[in-house]
């Protein structure tokens, strides 16, 4: 039953065809067999999950259905605070952190009835594109375990692809949901900035971070989005707009939809297998009544530079709180406060995190602020303007999610700039605050998954779900990686 | 304008990251590559462009200035690496 869709599993529980305990037990035993091969979970909660499942079953017996995820086992990236359950961000500096409260995302999936199986591995503080930068060791791609799963939500994407949860929630600052979804052959959506509350989601770059669903089908992702989206007064950037019926949007079709093809995204550097698969996705949209429109997003080539100023700058400020005073790791034996803090951070942070804290501190330091951070904020305006102008002519934009299928473990780990380039197609959406989704659209000759990315207008997640659902229905692909336990 | 080792060590001090000379050399080389790439932004004329700090336009949200006590003080304090009663304990602040 691990290969069922989330919506089918939820229906089976509601219809009393299966108990939440049976479902939960089956997935826990699958985690036990499969997880050692891929390292997707950092914390598994067998007792708590079985307790929750029993409570959900009792409710069903009394005719109570909490919400659309009632009794369904799911899991979340270890970046969301969970009360009484360690929350690490895959960092040594937070290894024993036990949050005093639940993130809004966690509250919402619990009140929708979901059972929490555990917490998933990630790049430390969500900084990375391969999930190799974790203090718990790398996650491996379930389709080919000599490959990375993408990142930073690589644990969540790999766990979903391996059938060890029905869906998960990740976070996306520059592609961290969409890129691993693409590389693991699952669906991942970054909603509009402000759509999902960031309360209790450990901050990386606050003006870019956004939580979103990872699932095996588009309707499953829509169901999770419906649960986690919505206004939250505890996040001052949360936007108070109504949450539509996202699952219904997946049935809308694409008749008359104008699909923009930005020429900058199909230039050099795209792997042939990716180009072929994305072209197939386009053909499927056209065959169901969509219209292709060539467009230009002229500042695309500047997005990566802009991102690698803004994200590290915000990160260097957000990560200043890890000083060994109130929680987390503290270096032993320091004689004074400054020495304690400096050694705590040097010992507690991994290399990539240090690199970004350094870039950000440099870009914000006296004499460089205008040349770097100020400049990047202005280019960010130009990137937003590109999208605004494009959306005068098109409803959605279709691109590859990543330039290549999954690369090999270790291949880019010593070359930060090359690693950064794997997010080149996903970063612009974060800078512009627009929603994006990655949906599987093919396989490489080596049997590695390939995703197509759809980008949309602010708060128009529905068009993305409608188009992604068409691609999914037209291009049937295996949903669960053939990992044998 | 390459970044120097002295600048790297200065930035590391600002960021409260202790760093050995060998680490500083490696960091200098990596930052140099990344900053050289980033400086492609200099090619764009942005003199008349208004900066974006947030991608989704919204006003400043206000709320009442009222106190909401957090009842589970122990849940917070138990995470402290070192404490004395209800206080966080740290090494001496004024160093010799």
- What pLDDT digit, counting tens, does each position of A365-395 carry? 988 899 999 999 999 999 999 999 999 999 9
- Residues written for chain B: 96
Identify the pLDDT of residue A111.
97
Q: How confident is the model at residue B1 (pLDDT cuts 50, 70, 90)?
A: low
**Is residue B87 situated within a structural domain?**
no
Mean pLDDT of A318-324: 98
Residue numbers of A between 94 and 153 with CB closer than 8 Å to B? 96-98, 100
Say if B63 falls within a structural domain: no
Q: Is residue B33 part of a domain?
A: yes
| Of A476, A477, A472, A426, nearest in space to A285 by CA | A472
Q: Does B22 touch chain A (CB under 8 A)?
A: no
Enclosing H/E stretch for B42: none
CA distance A155 to A136: 11
pLDDT tens digits along A431-456: 999 999 999 999 999 999 999 999 99
Number of alpha helices (DSSP H) and beta strands (DSSP E) in chain B: 3, 2
More confident residue, A485 or A406: A406
The parent domain of residue B1 ranges over 1-44
Look up the ipTM and state it.
0.95
To the nearest 10°, the Cα dihedral for A109, A25, A176, A5? -80
d(CA B76, CA B89): 14
- In angstroms, the CA A249 to CA A464 distance is 9
Among B8, B53, B80, the residue with its CB nearest the CB of A327 is B80
A433 vs B contacts (CB less than 8 Å): 54-56
Look at residue B53 and tell me if it is in a domain. no
A318, closest residue in chain B (CA to CA): B15
Residues of A (392-431) whose Cβ lies below 8 Å from B: 416-417, 420, 430-431
Q: Which residues pair with A115 in a beta bridge?
A: A73
Residue B5 domain flag = yes
**Residue B58: per-residue pLDDT:** 79
Pairing of strands A258-262, A396-400: parallel
The 10s digit of each residue's pLDDT in B46-95 is 999 999 988 887 788 888 999 989 989 999 999 999 999 999 999 988 76
Q: Return the residue of A nearest to B63 by Cα.
A: A233
How far CA A427 is from CA of A34, A258, A424, in Å, comes to 32, 23, 6
| Three-class secondary structure assignment of A217-280 | CHHHHHHHHHHHECCCCCCCCCCCCCCCCHHHHCCCCCCCCEEEEEHHHHCCCCCHHHHHHHHH
pLDDT in tens, A79-114: 999 999 999 999 999 988 999 999 999 999 999 999
Domain boundaries, chain A: 6-253
User: Which among A143, A168, A96, A154 is positioned nearest to A121, based on CA atoms?
Assistant: A154
Are the C-beta atoms of residues A440 and A185 closer than 8 Å to each other?
yes
Residue A346 pLDDT exceeds 70:
yes
If you average pLDDT over residues A118-122, what whole number do you get?
98
Output the average pLDDT for chain A: 97
Mean pLDDT of A50-68: 97
Superfamily the domain A6-253 falls into: Amidase signature (AS) domain (3.90.1300.10)
- Asked if the structure places residue B3 within a domain, the reply is yes
| CA dist A52 → A57, A65, A117, B25 (Å) | 9, 14, 10, 52
d(CA A335, CA A9): 57
What token pair was written down for A119? 């917490």
Q: What is the mean pLDDT of residues A256-260?
A: 98
Residue B86 lies in a domain: no
Q: What is the mean pLDDT of residues A459-481?
A: 97
Q: What is the pLDDT of residue B56?
A: 84
Number of Cβ within 10 Å of residue B13's Cβ equals 14
Determine whether B69 is exposed, middle or buried from the number of CB atoms within 10 Å of its CB (0-12, 13-18, 19+).
Answer: exposed
> What separation in angstroms does the CA of A224 have from each of A196, A216, A228?
11, 11, 6
Q: Report d(CA A108, CA A212) in Å as an integer.
A: 13
pTM of the model: 0.97
Name A77's bridge partners. A120
Return the DSSP state at A303. Answer: H
Q: How far apart are CA A258 and CA A260, in angstroms?
A: 6
At residue A72, the pLDDT reads: 98
- Distance separating alpha carbons of residues A441 and A463, to the nearest angstrom: 17
Closest CB to A417: pick one of B37, B51, B63: B37
* Binary contact (B18, A343; C-beta < 8 A): yes
Residue A386 CA to residue A325 CA, distance in Å, equals: 44
Question: Chain B residues with CB inside 8 Å of A299's CB?
Answer: 44
For residue range A176-228, what is the model confidence (pLDDT) as tens digits? Answer: 999 999 999 999 999 999 999 999 999 999 999 999 999 999 999 999 999 99
Residue A485: pLDDT band with limits 50, 70, 90: very low
HSE-up (13 A, CA, CB side) for residue A290: 28
- Cβ-Cβ contacts under 8 Å for A205 (sequence gap 6 or more): A173, A310, A311, A312, A314, A315, A318
For B26-43, how does the pLDDT look when each residue is reduced to its tens digit (9 = 90+)?
A: 999 999 999 999 999 999
**Is B74 within the bounds of a domain?**
no
DSSP one-letter string for A373-430: IIHHHHHHHHHHHHHHHHTTT-SEEEEESSSSS--BTTSSTT-HHHHHGGGTTTHHHH
Number of domains in chain B: 1
Q: What is the Cα–Cα distance from A107 to A271, expressed in whole angstroms?
A: 41
| Active site (catalytic) residues of A | 77, 152, 176
């Amino acid at each position: 039953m691990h290969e069922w869709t989330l919506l089918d599993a939820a229906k089976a529980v509601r219809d009393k065809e299966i108990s939440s305990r049976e479902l939960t037990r089956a997935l826990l035993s699958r985690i036990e067999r499969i997880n050692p091969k891929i390292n997707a979970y950092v914390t598994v909660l067998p007792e708590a999950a079985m307790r929750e499942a029993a409570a959900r079953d009792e409710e069903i017996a009394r005719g109570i259905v909490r919400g659309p995820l009632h009794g369904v086992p799911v899991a979340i990236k270890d970046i969301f605070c969970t009360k009484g359950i360690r929350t690490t961000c895959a960092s040594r500096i937070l290894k024993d952190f036990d949050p005093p409260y639940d993130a809004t995302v966690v509250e919402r999936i619990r009140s929708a009835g979901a059972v929490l199986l555990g917490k998933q591995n990630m790049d430390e503080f969500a900084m990375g594109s391969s999930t190799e930068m974790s203090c718990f060791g790398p996650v491996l791609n379930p389709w080919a375990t000599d490959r990375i799963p993408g990142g930073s939500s690589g644990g969540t994407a790999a766990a979903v692809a391996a059938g060890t949860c029905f869906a998960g929630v990740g976070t996306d600052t520059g592609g961290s949901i969409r890129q691993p979804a693409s590389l693991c052959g699952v669906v991942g959506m970054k909603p509009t900035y402000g759509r999902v509350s960031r309360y209790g989601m450990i901050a990386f770059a606050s003006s870019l971070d956004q939580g979103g669903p990872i699932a095996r089908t588009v309707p499953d992702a829509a169901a999770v989005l419906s649960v986690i989206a919505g206004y939250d007064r505890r996040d001052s950037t949360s936007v108070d707009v109504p949450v539509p019926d996202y699952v219904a949007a997946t049935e809308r079709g694409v008749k008359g939809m104008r699909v923009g093809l930005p020429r900058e995204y199909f230039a050099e550097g795209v792997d042939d297998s990716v180009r072929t698969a994305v072209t197939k996705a386009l053909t499927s949209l056209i065959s169901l009544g969509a219209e292709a429109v060539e467009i230009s997003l002229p500042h695309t080539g500047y997005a990566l530079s802009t991102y690698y100023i803004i994200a590290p700058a915000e990160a260097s400020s957000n990560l200043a709180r890890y000083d060994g005073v109130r929680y987390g790791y503290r270096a032993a034996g320091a004689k004074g406060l400054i020495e304690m803090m400096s050694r705590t951070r040097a010992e507690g942070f991994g290399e990539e995190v240090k690199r970004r804290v350094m870039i950000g501190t440099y870009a914000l330091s006296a004499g460089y602020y205008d040349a770097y951070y100020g400049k990047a904020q202005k280019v960010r305006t130009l990137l937003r303007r590109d999208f605004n102008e494009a959306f005068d002519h098109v409803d959605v934009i279709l691109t590859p999610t990543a330039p290549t299928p999954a690369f090999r473990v270790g291949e880019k780990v010593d070359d930060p700039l090359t690693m950064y380039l794997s997010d080149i197609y996903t970063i612009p959406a974060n800078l512009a605050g627009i929603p994006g989704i990655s949906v599987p659209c093919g396989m490489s000759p080596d049997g590695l998954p390939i995703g197509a990315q759809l980008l949309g207008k602010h708060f128009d997640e529905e068009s993305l779900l409608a188009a992604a659902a068409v691609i999914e229905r037209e291009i049937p692909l295996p949903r669960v990686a053939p990992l044998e336990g | 304008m390459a970044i120097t080792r002295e600048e790297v060590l200065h930035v590391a001090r600002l960021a409260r990251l202790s760093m050995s000379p060998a680490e500083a050399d490696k960091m200098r080389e990596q930052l140099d590559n990344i900053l050289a790439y980033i400086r492609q932004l200099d090619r764009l004329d942005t003199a008349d462009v208004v900066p974006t700090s947030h991608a989704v336009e919204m006003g400043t949200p206000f709320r009442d200035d009222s106190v909401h006590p957090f009842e589970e003080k122990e849940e917070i304090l138990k995470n402290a690496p070192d404490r004395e009663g209800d206080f966080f304990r740290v090494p001496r602040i004024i160093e010799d």
